[in-house]
Structure 1
Amino acid sequence: MDWLGPQEWTAVALSLKVSFWAMLASLPIGVLTAYALARWRFPGRQMLNGLVHLPLILPPVVTGYLLLMTLSPRAPLGAALEAVGIIFAFRWTGAALAAAIMGFPLMVRAIRLSIEAVDPKLEEAAATLGASRLKVFATITLPLILPGVLTGAILAFAKAMGEFGATITFVSNIPGQTQTLPSAIYAFLQVPGGEASALRLVAVSIAVAMAALALSEWLSRRVARRVGA
């Protein structure tokens, strides 16, 4: 892929890094949240559901602004985290956080639908045989919902690859540090003669998105066949 320049390669590599960690860090929380929404009944359940889906409704710039106001070094929480060496604002870690938040609703939705499709009687039968709640989840629920977990993870990864509004608001557009694929495309379109570079990155974005969707379908079908067998 010599047709990509150094700055373009850097943007692609950073996007893959940000998307991978955004997906990986949010996956355990996504599974727990989806399970809580699908199986538990508790005060504030509808509020939790609303908060989970809020990034889909709010403009991405608003999400990025809220992150900046909460986690910037001048904010109380941001200053406390900086004191222990955790910095999000204007760092690639902040880009991963913003991407994770924007992809979280898609992940939770896919996993929740899988959990709701599992017959609760299977879990109840295992519990009556003396299995703990954790063991029931690990041996019964998780294998059955694995296609949904994989689908949710890959959808979140693909969403993270395309995230722009929240990311650029929270971590800016710093080449080599926070400039992801969408930010690089935007930057190239702002300079004369940058259209060719922007077009190459658009092609990469489309290829990655299509590959992620194809992988999601393939993995889901493969795991579903194994679970069915």
Structure 2
Amino acid sequence: MMLHEISVKRGINIEIASMTWMVIEAAVALGSGIVAHSLSLVAFGADSIIELVAGGVLLWRLTIEARGASLSRVKKAEKTSSWVVGIALLLLAVYIVVAAIDKLVTHQGAQSTYMGTGLALASGIIMPYLSRAKKRIGSEIGSKALSADGSCSIVCAYMAWTVLVGVALTALFGWWWIDSIAALALVYFVVKEGREAVQEARGKEDACGCCH
């Protein structure tokens, strides 16, 4: 039990760290994206807001368990968290598709600022670490919602590298369409994880493939 409690506290700490970074990421990405008229950076900022909301719900769920709530209340909080994370991922998939199609139709290539590029680079390094930590702790305490939130974090990392690759290839070869295509390639992964989280919230115990 002591080991379980330690893992729950680690989960709380990792969510606080993740949410702190999401606030910074959202502010810088949205600000830089608006200034540079960059849809890819604005989409990156939107992803940060979605993950911030999901992280807040996960923090609530973990705090309830850390305070010694009954098993039934923890399970109820877990189910609510799975719903929020799953819906957040599905909303992110919709946003990616709409944003990518708009960019392809309007022939808008990747644009950025030095601050936006620096942010994407930092996120590409930080988010995989946070993702691994969430998935590991989620497995230790039996929280599929926390593991699914780890999937949100890795999607954030993929989007960061998509921004960087798009900017680089557009600058080198004029491939204005590359970041839209790369973003669309993420949709399958995002929808898969979102559906699994929703199925878990509906009570299908083996729905979350990322936890096996």
Query: The TM-score by the shorter chain falls in which range?
Result: 0.3 to 0.5
The structure whose residues are more often helix, as a share, is: 2
The structure having more radius of gyration, on CA atoms, is 1
